[in-house]
Every structure is written in structure tokens, then in C-alpha cells.
Structure 1
């Protein structure tokens, strides 16, 4: 990958899109992870207004520390970057008092995890509307188009996706070029939706390099019969997530009414 040229291409794409949309810049939710760090840095390089927002909900301390380190570095490097912090913990806790928490614990936990992401999306769009900004998504290609590892209308609810054509290894390469803090570069990827330090790999059962491999094999038309051992396990994991999360990765189904019924 021609890293510098890719970075310039994304920055110019962001700038052109924002100018054509008649907005002032971008708002990005920062989590202390590589994807949001790279996305917010690319947005900052446009020279347009950038608002980065930290939105903790019972967040693991390590995530908070990395997010704050990144925000401080970004503001030091770019005069066009501002930040704000919206603690959504009391909002989330109040929400839980108003809904039923009955059901299998794993199901309840997942529903609440997705609720965290949707509360953050609501916050981002509030500030976007207030300041005439676009919500920049932070999803990469493996998450957005491979395993669907995002929340529908949560972190998947965005105006544009700057890094969604880059797999995770390419995002890391871009992160190094963009001088993302070392603590973020070395941290295990995590969605931070459960209030603890569990990683994406803990949840999925495969690492991003493995998922990139499986995505490539699937694109080449390979099947389970082509693999054995760990490769077979990873390929099955990828196909299971890809299938079950397909509804996130395709346009919303529309029931088209036949002309003769109108």
C-alpha cells in the first residue's frame, strides 16, 4: 500500500465531500482504539473543523486513558481540532431502570451493549446538527463488510466512512504513518461496549489478521472443504459472522408493491 498517497487521497476525499455538502467539518467519537484514532487524524488533516468526542459508559480505565492521550496529541498537532466529553453513564443507567431486563443474561447483555453504541450515535448527531458537521464513521473493511462487527444504527450510523475500504492491517500501517500514539498502536482492538477490557478477538474467536485471510479466501471462492485445522476453524467463524450479520451490510429491504395493487 502506498501509505502517504492513500492518506492524501482520503483527506482530499473528506474535504471535497464536506465542501460539497456545505458543512463545516466533522465530528468523530474517539474510543482509545486504532480506528477512531486514524479516522480523527485524517479528518484533522483536512484543515476543516473537527470535534472529537469522548463518550464513556462505565468505560474500562485503559480505554479512557488512551482516548485522552490521543485527544491531547491531536489538539497539540492541529489547531482545527476541539474536543468535548459527554459522560453517558447516568443516561445509560437511567435507561436500564425504564426497560425490562428479563431474559437470558447473554441476550440482555448484548442488547445493552448495542444500546451503548446507539446512545453514542445519538450524541454524535446532536453535536453534528448543532455545529453543522458530518459524523465520520470509524469502521474498517473487515468489520463493515466482512464480519459485520458493529452495531446497526450505533457505530454503523454515520454520514461517511473514510477507512471502510481498508482492512485492519492497512489501518495500522496508516496509524503508524499518521503518528498515532504508541499506546493505541499496541492495544488489543476492543469495541468497549461491555464496560470491561475484553478484546474483539475474545468476542469473535479470531484475530484480525486471521479474519483478513478468511475474507480474502471467501472472495476467491474458497469453501470449508479447502481447509483444515485452525484455518478451517477461522474460516467457519468468518462465514458464520458474515452470514448472521448480512442484514447490517446490505441496504434495508423494501417491500415493493406491484403496480397492479396501487
Structure 2
């Protein structure tokens, strides 16, 4: 990958899109992970206003520390970057007090995890409306179009996606080029939706390099029967997530009424 050229292309794309939209810049949630670190740096390089927001909800201490380190790093490099912190923990707890819990614990935990992401999306759009900004998404290609590892109308609710055509390894290449803090570069990827330090790999059952491989094999028309051992296991994991999360990757289905009924 021509890293410098890719960085310049994305920065110019962001600036052109924002200028045509008539907005002042971008707002982005900072999680302490590589995707939000790279995306916020790319946004900052446009020279437009960038508002970085921390939105903890019973967050793991390591996530908070890395997020704060990145924001400080970014503000030291760019005078167009500002930040704020919105503690959504009491909001989340109030929500839990108003809903009922039905089903097994795993189902409840997943519903609550997705609720965290949707509270954050609401917060980002509040500030976007307040300051005339665009919500910049942080999803990469494997997450957004491979396994669908994001929350619909949560972290999937954005105005534009600067890194969604890059797989995770390419995002790390950009992170290295952009001098993202080493603590973030070395950290295990995590969605941070469960209040602990569990990684994406813990949840999915495969690493991002493995998922990138499976995505390439699937695009090449391979099937599980073409593989054995760990490769077969990973390919099946990829296909299971890809199939079950397909509804996130396609347009909302519309019931089209036949002309003879109108």
C-alpha cells in the first residue's frame, strides 16, 4: 500500500466532502482503539474543526487511559482539535431502570451492549448538530463489510466512513505512518461495549489477520470444503458472522407496492 498517498487521498476526500456539505468539520468518538485514533488524525489533517469526544459507560480503565493519551497527543499536534467528555454511565443506568429484562443473560447483555453504542451515537449527533459537524465513522472494511461487527444505528450510525475501504492491517499501517501512540498500536482491538477488557477476538473467535484472509477467500469464491483445520474453522466463523449480519450491510428493505394496488 502507498501509505502516504492513501493518507493524502483520504484527507482530501474528507475536506472536499465537508466543504461541499457546508459544515465546519467533524465530530468523532474516541475509544482508545486504533480505528478511532487513525480516523481522528485523518480528520485533524484536513485543517477543519475536529471535536473528539470521550463517552465512557463503565469503561475499562485501560480504554480510558489510551483515549486520553491520544486526545492529548492530537491536541499537541493540531490547533484545530478540541475535546469534551460526556459520561454516559448515569444515562445508561437510568435506561436500565426503565426497561424490563426478559430472556437469558447473554441476550440481555448483548442488548445492553448495543444500547451503549446507540447512546454514544445520539451524543455524537447532538454535538454535530450543535456545532455544524459531520459524524465521522471509524469502521474498517472487515468490520463493516466482512463480519458486520458493529451496532446498527450505534457506531454504524455515521455521516461518512473514511477508513471503511481499508482492512485492519492497512489501518495499522496508517497508524504507524501517522505516529499514533504506541499504547494504542499494541492494544488488542476491543469494542468496549461490555465494561471490561475483552477483545474483539474473544468475541468473534478469530483474529483480524485471520478474518482478512477469510474475506479474501470468500471473495475468491472459496467454500469451507476447500480448507481443513484452523483455516476451515476461521472460514466458517467468518461466513457465520457475514450471513447473520448481512442485514447491516444492505439497504433497509422497502415493501414496494405494485402499481395495480395504488
Matches of 1:67 and 1:199, distance apart in 2: 16
Deviation at 1:78, TM superposition (A): 0.2
Matches within 5 A, 1:4-83: 4-83=4-83
Deviation at 1:101, TM superposition (A): 1.6
Q: Tell me what 1:133 maps to.
A: 133
Matches of 1:196 and 1:261, distance apart in 2: 53
Matches of 1:175 and 1:224, distance apart in 2: 33
Matches within 5 A, 1:1-262: 1-262=1-262
Which runs of 5 or more structure 1 residues have no equivalent in the other structure? Answer: none
Deviation at 1:86, TM superposition (A): 0.1
Matches of 1:138 and 1:157, distance apart in 2: 10
How many pairs does the alignment contain? 262
Deviation at 1:222, TM superposition (A): 0.2
Deviation at 1:103, TM superposition (A): 1.5
Deviation at 1:193, TM superposition (A): 0.1
Deviation at 1:66, TM superposition (A): 0.1
Matches of 1:25 and 1:17, distance apart in 2: 10
Matches of 2:188 and 2:101, distance apart in 1: 30
For normalisation by structure 2, the TM-score amounts to: 1.00
The CA deviation string for residues 160-179 of structure 1, in whole angstroms up to 9 with x for no partner, is 00000000000000000000
Matches of 2:101 and 2:124, distance apart in 1: 26
Instruction: Select between 129-138 and 98-107 the one with higher mean Cα deviation.
Output: 98-107
Q: CA RMSD in A?
A: 0.3
Which runs of 5 or more structure 2 residues have no equivalent in the other structure? Answer: none
Q: 4+ runs of 1 displaced by more than 6 Å?
A: none
The CA deviation string for residues 77-107 of structure 1, in whole angstroms up to 9 with x for no partner, is 0000000000000000000000012220000
Deviation at 1:153, TM superposition (A): 0.1
**Does the residue aligned with 1:158 lie in a helix, a strand or coil?**
coil
Matches of 1:57 and 1:103, distance apart in 2: 23
**Does the residue aligned with 2:82 lie in a helix, a strand or coil?**
strand
